[in-house]
Amino acid sequence: MTLTEPRVTVVRTSKEVVRYSLFERIVHWVVGVTFVYLLLSGMALAYPRMAWLANGLGGGQTMRAAHPWVGVVFTAGLLVMVFMWAGAMRFDKGDREWVRRLKQYRHTGHTGLDTGRYNAGQKGYYWVVLAFGAVLLITGIPLWFPWMAGAGVQQAARIIHNLAYLVMLAGFMIHVYMSTVMFPGTMSGMTSGKVSRRWASWHHPRWLREKDGE
Amino acid sequence: MSTELGLAVRRRSATPASSTNIRTDTPQVSKIVDIDLCIGCKACEVACKEWNDLPVDDTSNFGSYQSHEDLTATTWDLMRFNEVELANNDIAWLIRKDSCLHCEDPGCLAACPAPGAIVQYQNGIVDFDQTKCIGCQYCIAGCPFDIPRFDPASKKVYKCTLCVDRVTSGLEPACVKACPTGSIKYGSTEDMVAYGTSKVAKLQARGFENAMLYNPAGVGGIHMMYVVPRGDMLAEYGLPSDPNVKKNVSFIGLLRNTRRLGAAATWAGILGLAVFWLRYGRHAPPPEDAGSEEGVLVGEHGGDGHVVEGLGGNAPANGNGHPSERQPAEEQPIVTSDGKELT
């Protein structure tokens, strides 16, 4: 297999372009910060060997009491993300080709496709988070009020909650790795809200054109 | 109720290698409930309340000789009553003292994520230390016998302590002391098993051919055994026929395997990402001056195959610190759009 070189126009300017509005960034970080708390407290609850994590999260009792409420905030954030990003995250024809070029993407960090605002990987992560967020919410309710649920429901909910957590953890690790270590210049989109036009033309050329056409 | 009793500890929740036992031949203690001798008087319930200073739970008539419908955070001992019709048109009153069975392999302890909230003393008693309980109620899911009860007010879980405070002082448990027929006995596990075995033989000789000693192996045995005259009616007594914390399909088995899977997957993920980073490195957009006139660009490798050094202007911070990012992908020939192959 040969790898086709990308055909893109690199815009010779160092100007920046707005990728995420202030509102989008706030929602992202609310979800992100609550997720980290849920991740760590969940780890302390699911793995007795990680119980020491509770000390850094307010102590066992506080952590156990906070976990479901933090989960409510997290869920609310996801709900906003549904309205905010679901349209942009719809899969289209180009996404199939993106998946075919995963190997090239891995080697060069680029597929050469005329990618829009999000590539298939980003879209996939978005839907995985929403789907498993829903699973964690549904299985989380009987863990919040166990005395209302039967023993079987509680046990099933605990196992499913723990497994769904693993999917979220895997997605989160990849998400953080790709947006910081793997692709420099990405993180600023979620801090200042702006990315360089060079970054945009490299990763999301169609989005940049659409942006310019505004 | 407390772990500060000077007793040797065999296991402590969420604490690996927690055994403190350096003593020899610590006697294993047990209760045995001889259901054949039980008259259902509920003296044990009252004694339990009294010794443990537990408040009264209101009772109501719900069509049973049972005092309360269920165990609660403040009712640790309950005489369960069930009337069943027998094949010969006779009826049987099944009465069973329901309280913590003090498993040898406690599912509650295995499930508990709070260090020290559940302890198993060397003598076999399983006890909760509410000062360390975080209220997650994992123990309730973990118990094969549905014993621990959550108190929403204090947000802690409670159950029978086997009167560890009395036992430690050389007294028998309160329920044993109060039992007027000697149905509840207390002593070394050895003696209790011996009593149960001989009693079962007597019952069988009397025509209860299904009589059995209830001491399930699936939880490693229990420290409150039953002599069950009608061993074919465990379900009617409200006793699980195969309570289990060892099988992979049991809740504790699933939980254990989920934890193993999670630990392995987490480490694999961390190491996998580290190796991925070493192998593939960072991918910055190509430098601005590397774009050819046709707008064809080849990433890090440059249009003519030379490695581009440095970036000008306000280029975003990129990983020019990592060597691998400047390495062309190995084994994969990189072909530009005009068919030129890079090596």
pLDDT digits (tens, 9 = 90+) for A104-149: 888 888 888 888 899 999 999 999 999 999 999 999 999 998 878 8
Residue A55 structural domain: 22-91+126-194
Give domain status of residue B166, yes or no: yes
pLDDT digits (tens, 9 = 90+) for B165-209: 999 889 999 999 999 999 999 999 999 999 999 999 999 999 999
pLDDT digits (tens, 9 = 90+) for B114-171: 999 999 999 999 999 999 999 999 999 999 999 999 999 999 999 999 999 999 889 9
Residue that wins the pLDDT comparison between B23 and A151: A151
ipTM given for this complex? 0.85
Nearest-angstrom CA–CA distance, B341 and B333:
6
For residue A26, pLDDT over 70 is answered with yes
Contacts B335 to A, Cβ<8 Å: 2-5
Task: Residue A70: count other Cβ atoms within 10 Å of its Cβ.
Answer: 19
Give domain status of residue A104, yes or no: no
pLDDT digits (tens, 9 = 90+) for B15-33: 988 787 777 778 899 999 9
Give domain status of residue B267, yes or no: no
Residue among A8, A54, A163 whose CB faces B258 most closely: A163
Here the tokens at position B219 are: 């939880």
- Both B109 and B236 in one domain: the answer is yes
Interchain proximity A107–B152, CB inside 8 Å? no
For residue B306, pLDDT over 90 is answered with no
For residue B322, pLDDT over 90 is answered with no
Residue among B135, B155, B316 whose CB faces A185 most closely: B316
Chain B residue with minimum CA distance to A200 = B285
Give domain status of residue B261, yes or no: no
Number of folded domains that form chain A: 1
- Both B129 and B172 in one domain: the answer is yes
CA of B67 to nearest chain A CA: how many angstroms apart?
21
Residue among B146, B284, B297 whose CB faces A6 most closely: B297
Q: Are B189 and B125 within 8 A, CB to CB? A: no
Q: At B7, is the pLDDT very low, low, confident or very high (cuts 50, 70, 90)?
A: confident
Give domain status of residue A120, yes or no: no
Say yes or no: A58 contacts chain B, CB-CB below 8 A: no
Query: Percentages helix, strand, coil for chain B, rounded to the nearest 5?
Result: 30, 20, 55
Say yes or no: B5 contacts chain A, CB-CB below 8 A: no
Give domain status of residue A61, yes or no: yes
Give domain status of residue B221, yes or no: yes
Number of folded domains that form chain B: 2
CATH of the domain at B114: 3.30.70.20
Q: What is the mean pLDDT of residues B323-334?
A: 46
For residue B330, pLDDT over 50 is answered with no
Contacts B138 to A, Cβ<8 Å: 45, 158
Residue among B265, B296, B317 whose CB faces A166 most closely: B265
Contacts A63 to B, Cβ<8 Å: 134
Give domain status of residue A181, yes or no: yes
Give, in degrees to the nearest 5, the angle at Cα B174 between B168 and B177: 105
Contacts B332 to A, Cβ<8 Å: 1-3, 103-104, 107
pLDDT given at position B17 = 81
CATH of the domain at A169: 1.20.950.20
Give domain status of residue A4, yes or no: no
Q: At B329, is the pLDDT very low, low, confident or very high (cuts 50, 70, 90)?
A: very low
Q: At B284, is the pLDDT very low, low, confident or very high (cuts 50, 70, 90)?
A: confident
Q: Which pTM does this prediction carry?
A: 0.83
CA of A202 to nearest chain B CA: how many angstroms apart?
6
Give domain status of residue B36, yes or no: yes
pLDDT digits (tens, 9 = 90+) for B244-269: 999 988 999 999 999 999 999 999 99
Interchain proximity B337–A201, CB inside 8 Å? no
Q: What is the mean pLDDT of residues A16-28?
A: 95
Residue B325 structural domain: 281-342
Give domain status of residue A209, yes or no: no
Residue that wins the pLDDT comparison between B67 and B317: B67
- Both B164 and B221 in one domain: the answer is yes
Interchain proximity A9–B295, CB inside 8 Å? yes
Give domain status of residue B264, yes or no: no
Chain A residue with minimum CA distance to B299 = A108
Q: Pick from B197, B221, B246: which residue ends a domain? A: B246
pLDDT digits (tens, 9 = 90+) for B39-83: 999 999 999 999 999 999 999 899 999 999 999 999 999 999 999
Q: At B287, is the pLDDT very low, low, confident or very high (cuts 50, 70, 90)?
A: confident
Which of 156-175 (A) contact B at CB < 8 A? 158-159, 162-163, 165-166, 169-170, 173-174
Here the tokens at position B70 are: 């269920």
pLDDT digits (tens, 9 = 90+) for A161-193: 999 999 999 999 999 999 999 999 899 999 999
Name the nearest CA neighbour of B246 among B110, B114, B138, B125: B110
Strand B156-158 and strand B149-151: pairing? antiparallel
Residue of B258, B338, B343 best to disrupt the A interface, most CBs of A under 10 A:
B258
Residue among B138, B280, B314 whose CB faces A107 most closely: B280
Residue among B146, B280, B333 whose CB faces A151 most closely: B146
Question: For residue A79, which amino acid is it?
Answer: L
pLDDT given at position A94 = 84
Which of 117-156 (A) contact B at CB < 8 A? 143, 146-147, 151, 154-155
Give domain status of residue A152, yes or no: yes
Question: If you average pLDDT over every residue of chain A, what do you get?
Answer: 91
Question: For residue B163, which amino acid is it?
Answer: C
For residue B324, pLDDT over 50 is answered with no
Least confident of A6-10, B247-251, B286-290: A6-10
Q: What's the order of all strands across the beta sheet hosting B341-342?
A: A3-4, B334-335, B341-342
Query: Catalytic site residue A175?
Result: yes
- Both B153 and B46 in one domain: the answer is yes
Per DSSP, which regions of B49-134 are E strands? Answer: 78-85, 91-98, 118-121, 126-128
Give domain status of residue A103, yes or no: no
Catalytic residue among A28, A67, A161, A175: A175
Say yes or no: B140 contacts chain A, CB-CB below 8 A: yes
Q: What's the order of all strands across the beta sheet hosting B224-228?
A: B184-188, B29-34, B224-228, B212-214
Q: Are A2 and B335 within 8 A, CB to CB? A: yes
Give domain status of residue B2, yes or no: no
Q: What is the mean pLDDT of residues A6-30?
A: 81
Give every CB contact of residue B160 below 8 A, 6+ residues apart in sequence: B48, B76, B77, B99, B100, B102, B147
Which of 82-121 (A) contact B at CB < 8 A? 103-104, 106-110
Contacts B253 to A, Cβ<8 Å: none
Name the nearest CA neighbour of A5 among A147, A84, A93, A111: A111
Name the nearest CA neighbour of B14 among A156, A164, A63, A46: A46
Chain B residue with minimum CA distance to A62 = B134
Interchain proximity B288–A12, CB inside 8 Å? yes
